[in-house]
Every structure is written in structure tokens, then in C-alpha cells.
Amino acid sequence: MGLDYENDGALHAKLIEDVLSQYPDKAAKRRKKHLSVAMSKDEATAEDKGLSECDVKSNIKSIPGVMTIRGCAYAGSKGVVWGPVKNMVHVSHGPVGCGQYSWSQRRNYYVGTTGIDTFVTMQFTSDFQEKDIVFGGDKKLEKIIDEIEDLFPLNGGISVQSECPIGLIGDDIEAVSRKKAKEHEKTIVPVRCEGFRGVSQSLGHHIANDAIRDWVFDKEDVKFESGPYDVNVVGDYNIGGDAWASRILLEEIGLRVVGNWSGDATLAEIERAPKAKLNLIHCYRSMNYICRHMEEKYGIPWMEYNFFGPSQIEASLRNIAKHFGPQIEEKTEKVIAKYRPLVDAVTAKYRPRLEGSTVMLYVGGLRPRHVITAYEDLGMVIVGTGYEFAHNDDYQRTGHYVKNGTLVYDDVTGYELEKFIEGIRPNLVGSGIKEKYPVQKMGIPFRQMHSWDYSGPYHGYDGFAIFARDMDLAINNPVWGLYRAPWKKIEDAPPTAVAAE
Amino acid sequence: MEKVTTMPQSAEKVLDHAPLFREPEYRQMLAEKKLNFECPHPDQIVTDQRELTKTWEYREKNLAREALVINPAKACQPLGAVFAAAGFERTMSFVHGSQGCVAYYRSHLSRHFKEPSSAVSSSMTEDAAVFGGLKNMVDGLANTYKLYDPNMIAVSTTCMAEVIGDDLRSFIENAKNEGSVPGDFDVPFAHTPAFVGSHVDGYDGMVKGVLEHFWKGSERSQVTGTLNIIPGFDGFCVGNNRELKRLLDLMGVTYTFIQDASDQFDTPSDGEYRMYDGGTKIADVKGALNAEATLSLQRYNTRKTLEYCDEVGQATASFHYPLGVQATDEFLMKVSAISGKEIPETIRMERGRLVDAMADSQSWLHGKKYAIYGDPDFVYAMARFVMETGGEPTHCLATNGTSAWEAEMKELLASSPFGQDAQVWAGKDLWAMRSLLFTEPVDLLIGNSYGKYLERDTGTPLIRLTFPIFDRHHHHRFALMGYQGGLRVLTTILDKIFDKLDRESSETGVTDYSYDLTR
């Protein structure tokens, strides 16, 4: 599995030194802990660094004033965990902005009649005004819930996604939710995901997970006949249809996906989750909390898997099948064999066009490690990677994926990322919308790896073909060759890949 | 049930989401998911509710909402402040408060302009909520100054900082005393609470903050005939500002464009990433104090700023996003009156060409009904231009429209026979617009990308002419203002009309009798 290569650790160490030299001392000291060069397991042990091969500090506060790429707890709850639950109305509770900027931006695909029985691509807000700040917003929230019930009677429930002011002005959204849930006989979930809580999106995921535990589980009498092969897919948000390209494989190997969290999910799929036999978790970072809870309370085991690229898909399918025994294992081998020709054809077509291309990643959740092998399946080389909001356990897991000498950056700042890109000059950068245009101005191909750059799915075998096509079209587009005006002598022309000062 | 075992995907013809999930394997899978696991409402109930939302009965309930806002057409103040700061030379936006907000503003602007958008946050968290964010300001300004080498740092606030009551003036002073930035370094600021007004007010606040910073305490010595132009929050600033400068240059006017983000949001690709490009120079902002007059291109974006210009002794005038014939006439005549420069013949020729185009196409435009939404000045401008073409602006909606705007709109509409049946909807949102379009349909909808949901639900063709436009590329690079801009707007509207007509008359042997070659 994967490619055998080593990265230029010495260059990367020098780049880290260079960027740190530009900070005021206090900030340099703090940023130093977030930047490192990955070393092999042997070296790590020899230097008594424990098992973590990507030894960076993580999940601590961003430094003010440096252009962190991180978001907030609200983004983690409304934007990631709750927003995709399709038959619920998610109220962005507070001023208008948060809901406006996150409206329809995460590409959580779903099927349903929007505005009637489905509400994902709508922006419901309490649009706080000064008087709501001064006098509190609980009365307004009550009225909002009544108006939702009146205008959207087919909603399956409501969640209240707190924005910053809610926790600061002392509103009691729990009391309002309890009262109104009783009155309307509906699930109403208050979520305390105010943006100032925690240091990034991450705490929002945790708070959203806890809200499922406290406000959804064991509330309804769930009537559902469970079967021996019932699984929940947890932490797949169906970006561009990822969860669908995954589900088709899980069904083919003989499993029954009784719930998908939370892309294309209905509330019913979440309520019945405790009846499944196994939780399959893709985005560990955003949903491990609820899996651990279900393990503890309902005895449901959980298992991480990775559906990016054929190497990981095969390994994951086999691992999942092993849990269910020979019958499923046999089917799984058939499925792997069935898709082998597709994988071979995709690889034969695209690998020669991508072989040896270097890639830098900076994303969130699971992707900074999970997509590495997918690139390597195409002969591409990962030279640097990092997370917006990882914890220590993510970096431990990353150690198993990255090669010696890989540049690792946690909560990277705009300045650092641009300087690293300038110094390394990779053939491709995979990151987000805020990073896309600066990188492209430098003449370096780019793919958004949060939204799949409006493409996808990238999960599963069907997704791998799209992934390969997209990386090819990004790197091999002729536009990158047009940057230099031909009448400018090479020595006068600005060199390619220049970061802003 | 036995699964289908075929495979839709292939290396020869890679199918991405749009075609892939229409393949039978996926359709079957999704149908079974719905049936077995989603606990859906019966189809008939969904259909009935869908039909109900098209009725007058639903409209009345919908428009009577008092608390819930659904699909609003406005954003919050700090977005406007960040946009405003981008219009000054080498200026970094520093937003004091929670950091997620800044990630949102940057993403929002980048998605529209397809350009980098730089801003930093003071990254306040729970401890700052308790103790205040002074430390974040002190450390943050030092880091921004060192790392991003700005000429100026423009500070605004998120609602978090506003709720806990952080005071920018004293915080910035403290930071300077602690050496975060040199004492004489320019750090203008504006308090921009998200729970007051909208992005247009944040724009107003920040521009005023910049002017105050540079003008306060300076002696004004009026230079007769010179003027300042303030464009307002404008997603089409790239095209519009350049067009306006071209017109002013043709007239030979001496002017300062205050807040010009046209280069910042349109940097070239040549291998160098320019974090800062263009923008009003600090020296020019200082000099602008001496102008005889300040003209605002968008009244509702600059109410406080113009008040301030008035206070310092300048003459002021404001417009509503001048586009089309008469609005451009008025703007140019005002410029001419102040500057003493005549409107040259070349511009009169341009005017004539716009009028010529409108005359050529008038039969396709006369009597067409429109719904228009967006920021107050934009809606005013579009309604006015639509009426110049013989169209009827049936619904005019601004979520951030005030009662003063409503009154002004009504006056405009009453001035033309084409505005007699028009209705003005101040403070309403796009879910209200959905009811309006079902109950009192129109031919065309003018707005931004969010309008695509209205187009899907009601079948009203959408024309994207205002911020934000996420799902079409590069429109903002072309001017809408001025006579040239009017041509662009006219052509865009006509294209939509002709495309629709062609689509409706393209069924072979059924409707294609009117699939005319010449129209």
C-alpha cells in the first residue's frame, strides 16, 4: 500500500525556521510548537518522543492577528454536524451573519422537497436586533418556534444553533426548547455552540454530539426491527454525494445502512442509531464522541474506516467484513474484484499524467491524513499536510500515513502557508476557498478539499475516478503555462510562486 | 432484495455527481433508503403542503411573521467593514471578536469575487468573554503589523466584542502604548455590531472611521471644483469603479475615489500573489478633506459618512447606484455642476448608444413584469431602469430597507405610469418573496445567487445582477453603472428573455413554429 519515498526534511526544517523568524518573539515561541517535520518511527522512538511521529501541539488557542484559517464552534455544530440533518429546521439563533455566510456552503447533498419536508439549503435566523440583546431573546425564540410549526408543519424537528450573543446575555434556550417541544410534540434541540467557545470548529462538533446524546437519544419510543448486519455510517456529511458513493459499497457487501450521520439524514436515522450492530466512523474528529457514548451506553462497537482511494477502500472493506464473518467477507472479495477493473482503468489513465507530482494539503477533520493514500494510489507524493482543528489523537493517526521528512503544520497561518508553498513549490495544493486564490495567483494548481471544488463525490470507487480526473484537470490545465507575458525577458519577469511579502 | 450489480462509473467517461446519481443503481438505492430508513411523510401530504405554500392563504401567514426570518437578503455589519477596508491602500482588516466570523467574511467575499480576501481576527475565546479582549488586541495588532506589513490596520468588531462592551478607541490607544504598533501608525476603527442594521451600515461605519481618523484636527482649505466619490458596498466594484473613473477622466474632473476595491478584488495572475493591490492612498484620503463636495453613489450605504462630510463643511449629494439613462444623467450633471467641467460629446454619444439599444429592443421589454431584490440603493436603481425600458417593477424588496427607503421607492414608482402597480417590501425576506411570486407572478426576477431557489420553486427566470454571485463567474468584472453599464444590464435582461423564449419554442413539431431566427 502506498508509495515509498522520503521528503526533504532539511528544507522543511529551514522553512519553519524562516517563517518563525518573522514573528514577534512571543508569537514565534507559540507558533514553534505547531510546526514540525515528520520523522520515521525509529527516529521518533530513539529520541524518546513516544509514538507520535507528528509531534505538534494542537487544539490550543489561535494567536490573535495572524490570519488563522480556523472557524468557530457554531461552524462545527450548525455547519458540520446538525446542518445536514435534512428534515429538521436549524435556526441560527442570534444576528443574521453566521447563518448567511454558512447558507448552502457545505454541499451536503440530500433528496427532498426543500421548504416543505426538507430544509438544508435554507437560512432560518432569529436576526437579532439590539432590543433582543438588551431584553433577551427567549420570547422571540418561542415565537420563532411557533412560526416554524405554522409555516413548515412537516418539519421533523427543530435545532437551535446558538451564536455568540446567546451565551453572553444569559438566555435560557433549554427552557424554551423543553416547553415548546412539549407543546408541539416535536423534538427541539438547543445547542450551545456559541462561536467564542473553544478554539476552533472542534468544540462545536463535541457540543453537537452531546446535544444528540442529551436531546435525541432515548426520547422517542423507536419502533424498528433491527437485523444482524445493521450499521450506522457516522461522520459522512455527503459532500457532493460522498455518503451515497459509500453506501452503495456497504450495501453491496451485504450490510444494511440504517442511518447516515449526518449527510442526507432524517432525524429518524439518528434516533434509531442505538439499535445498530456497528458504528462505522469516517470523520473521527467530528463524531467520535457520540460513538464512544454509544459504545459505553448501548454496547455498540465502532470502527474507523477510510473510503478515499482504492488501497484504503479495499483495506477498509476487508476490515469491516471481518467484523461480520465469512459470509460478508466472501461478498466483500467479490465486490473488490468487481471494481478492480475500474480501479485499474482509472489508474492506467491518470497515473502516468500525475506520477511524481508533489502535493501539499491543509484541511480539517479527517482529510489531511485520509486522502494521502488516494494521492499515492495515483503516484503522487505528499510533501506537507496539516489540520485546522485536530487534536493530539489525530496527529498520532497521521503518523501512520505520512513519510519521513513531511512538513506538518497545525492551525497554519496565512503567512506560513504561503511561505511554505513558495519554498516547496508543490505541483498541487489542496485546501479551502480562502487559500484557493492566493495559491493560484502564484501559478500553482489548486483543488478545494472541503467542498471538492464543486465536484465529487470523492468517496468510494465511483468517487476515486472523479478524484483522479479532478487532480489531472487541475494540474494539467494549459492555463498555468500562460502566466508569463512572452515579451518579458525571463530575468525581468516575476518568478513564479511568489508569496505576498 | 438482490442488488443490481452493474456499474455506472468508468475511466473513459467519468461521471461526477450530477450524472452519476441519476444512474439506475443510485436511484434505486436512494428510493430504498427513503422507504426503509427515512420515515418520510406520505407523498400526497408533501404534495398538498407544497401546493398550500403557493396560495394566498399561506402568503398571508408568511407575510405576517413577526420573529422568524427565512432566507434574508442581507448580511451583517462587519462584512461591510471588511469590504470597505479593502478599498484603501495596503490596509489589513482586523476584526475584534470571535475568529470564526472572519473566516466567514473572507470565504463570502472570495466566493463572489473569485479572489483572495485577507482579514485577521483577534481570536477572542471564553476567557476574553469574561475579562475583555484587550490582551487580544495588544498581541493581535503586534502580530498583524509584523507579519503582514500593512500601511494601515482597519479595526471593526464582531457581535461578541460588542455584547461584552469592548471599547476600540481605548484598546487601540493601549495597544499603541504597549508598542504593538508605532504611535503614529494609522489604526482607524468602527464599531460594527451585527445586531444593528446590515452590511451597508458596516460599510458606512468603516468609511466614516477612516475619514475621521485622517481628517479630525486637520484644517480644511477648500479646493473649489474638486470632489470625492464614495461608491458604497458594491459587489460590482471592479467593473463599476473603473467605469466611473473613466467617465470622470473624460470630463477632466479632479476627484478622489474614496474606498476603491476594484484592484484589490481583481489582481492579475502572473506568478506573484499580491496581498494588497490598489486602493485609495492614505495621502489622497487626507487630501480629500479639501474637496468641495463628496458624492455618494449609494445613499443608504453612507448616511453617517455623508453627515460627517457635511459637518466638516463639504457639500454632499447622494445617488442610488446610478445606472440607466436618467440616473446617469443626474449623476453626470451633478459632477459637472460642482466641477465646472462640461460633459463632453463622447459621453453624449455613449448616452445616445444606450438609448439607441433600448429603442431597438423596446418591443421585447415593454410591459414585462419584474421582481427586484437586493440592497436598498440597488433596488431603487433597477426599478428606475426597468421603468425606463417600459417594464413594471411589480415587487421591490430590500431586507435591509428602512421606512425612509420605502417612502423614497414609493415616490419613484408614483412618478411613472409603469410603477402604478408596483409594491414595495421593506424588511421582508426571500421566503416572503416566494409567496409573492406564486400569488402575483412576474416575468423576471432580478437579484443574486440566492434567487436560484426562487427560480427553481416558482419558475421565474433569475437575472443575477448584485452581490453575492457565487454560481456564475466574472459578471462583477463588468460595469453596471453609467451608460456603458446600462448596456450591460440591458443585454443581460434581453438574453434571459430570448433564451426563455427559445427554450419554450424549441419543441420540434409542437412549439417550434415560433422558433424564429430573427427576433
What pLDDT score was predicted for residue A46? 53
List beta partners, residue B369.
B392
Residues from chain A that touch B272, judged by Cβ atoms under 8 A, are 441-442, 494, 498
d(CA A268, CA A490): 63
Q: Which of B22, B38, B43, B181 is the mutation pick for testing A, counting most A CBs within 10 A?
A: B38
Using one digit for the tens of pLDDT, what is the confidence trace for B188-219? 999 999 999 999 999 999 999 999 999 999 99
Selecting from A114, A483, A501 the residue whose C-beta is nearest the C-beta of B271 gives A483
C-alpha dist (Å) from residue B425 to A110, A261, A448, B406:
32, 40, 38, 7
CA-nearest residue to A258 within chain B is B37
What pLDDT score was predicted for residue A491? 67
Using one digit for the tens of pLDDT, what is the confidence trace for A266-294? 999 999 999 999 999 999 999 999 999 99
CA proximity to A286, closest of A108, A98, A76, A103: A76
Residue type, B73: A
What pLDDT score was predicted for residue A489? 77
Residue type, B464: R
Measured in angstroms, the CA of B177 and the nearest CA of chain A are apart by 17
Residues from chain B that touch A346, judged by Cβ atoms under 8 A, are 11, 14
**ipTM above 0.95 for this complex:** yes
* B479 has a pLDDT exceeding 80: yes
- Strands B392-398, B369-373: parallel, antiparallel or unpaired by DSSP? parallel
Other C-beta atoms lying within 10 Å of the C-beta of residue A5: 15
Task: Say if the Cβ atoms of A101 and B105 lie within 8 Å.
Answer: yes
Measured in angstroms, the CA of A317 and the nearest CA of chain B are apart by 17
Q: Give the pLDDT band of residue A50 (cuts 50, 70, 90).
A: very low
* B505 has a pLDDT exceeding 80: yes
* B119 has a pLDDT exceeding 90: yes
| pLDDT averaged over every residue in chain A | 95
> Could you give the percent of chain B with pLDDT greater than 70?
99
CA-nearest residue to A479 within chain B is B269
Residue A445 corresponds to which cell in the numbers above? 494548481
Q: Give the pLDDT band of residue A362 (cuts 50, 70, 90).
A: very high
Other C-beta atoms lying within 10 Å of the C-beta of residue B94: 30
Residue A119 corresponds to which cell in the numbers above? 430544509
* A495 has a pLDDT exceeding 60: no
Residue A497 corresponds to which cell in the numbers above? 510562486
CA-nearest residue to A91 within chain B is B68
CA proximity to B59, closest of A390, A151, A42, A51: A151
> Could you give the percent of chain A with pLDDT greater than 90?
92
| pLDDT averaged over every residue in chain B | 97
CA-nearest residue to B136 within chain A is A64
Residues from chain A that touch B26, judged by Cβ atoms under 8 A, are 244, 248
- Show the DSSP H helices in A218-371 as ranges: 242-252, 267-271, 284-298, 310-324, 326-354, 367-370
Kindly provide the b/e burial profile for residues A314-327, where b requires at least 16 CB atoms within 10 angstroms of the residue's own CB: bebbeebbeebeee
What pLDDT score was predicted for residue B1? 46
C-alpha dist (Å) from residue A104 to A162, A198, A328, B346, B354:
18, 24, 38, 45, 38
A394 in contact with chain B, both atoms CB, cutoff 8 A? no
CA proximity to B91, closest of B288, B296, B284, B280: B280
A128 in contact with chain B, both atoms CB, cutoff 8 A? yes
> Could you give the percent of chain B with pLDDT greater than 90?
99
Q: Per-residue pLDDT averaged across B233-262, rounded?
A: 98
What pLDDT score was predicted for residue A273? 97
Say how far residue B314 (Cα) sits from the centre of its chain. 27
Measured in angstroms, the CA of B164 and the nearest CA of chain A are apart by 7
Q: What is the set of active-site residues of A?
A: 72, 75, 106, 205
The dihedral through the CA atoms of B417, B422, B424, B430 has a sign that is negative
Name the region of B222 (left: φ>0; alpha: ψ -120 to 50; beta: rest). beta
What pLDDT score was predicted for residue A494? 55
Cβ neighbours for B450, distance < 8 A, ≥ 6 positions apart = A103, B71, B73, B430, B468
A125 in contact with chain B, both atoms CB, cutoff 8 A? yes
Contact between B379 and B396 under an 8 Å Cβ cutoff? The reply is yes
Q: What are phi and psi of A296, to 5 degrees?
A: -65, -50
Residues from chain A that touch B121, judged by Cβ atoms under 8 A, are 62, 64-65, 68
Selecting from A65, A163, A264 the residue whose C-beta is nearest the C-beta of B144 gives A65
d(CA A388, CA A202): 9
Q: Which residue has the cell 432560518?
A: A124
Q: Give the pLDDT band of residue A47 (cuts 50, 70, 90).
A: low
What pLDDT score was predicted for residue B5? 62
d(CA A310, CA A252): 16
Residue ranges with strand state E in A156-308: 157-162, 188-191, 230-236, 256-262, 278-281, 302-304
**Rounded to a whole number, what is the distance in angstroms from the first to the last CA of chain A?**
40
What pLDDT score was predicted for residue A501? 58
Task: Say if the Cβ atoms of B137 and A64 lie within 8 Å.
Answer: yes
Contact between A275 and A217 under an 8 Å Cβ cutoff? The reply is no
Q: Which of A62, A93, A111, A127 is the mutation pick for testing B, counting most B CBs within 10 A?
A: A127
Task: Say if the Cβ atoms of A455 and B16 lie within 8 Å.
Answer: yes
d(CA B454, CA B442): 12
Q: Which residue has the cell 421591490?
A: B396
Measured in angstroms, the CA of B481 and the nearest CA of chain A are apart by 27
Q: Give the pLDDT band of residue A208 (cuts 50, 70, 90).
A: very high
CA-nearest residue to B31 within chain A is A111
What pLDDT score was predicted for residue A55? 76
What pLDDT score was predicted for residue A42? 60
Residue A405 corresponds to which cell in the numbers above? 521528512
What pLDDT score was predicted for residue A500? 72
**Rounded to a whole number, what is the distance in angstroms from the first to the last CA of chain B?**
56
Using one digit for the tens of pLDDT, what is the confidence trace for A413-440? 999 999 999 999 999 999 999 999 999 9
Q: Per-residue pLDDT averaged across A247-251, rounded?
A: 98
What pLDDT score was predicted for residue A2? 64
What pLDDT score was predicted for residue A215? 98
Other C-beta atoms lying within 10 Å of the C-beta of residue B249: 10
Selecting from B14, B143, B275 the residue whose C-beta is nearest the C-beta of A66 gives B143
Residue B109 corresponds to which cell in the numbers above? 467575499
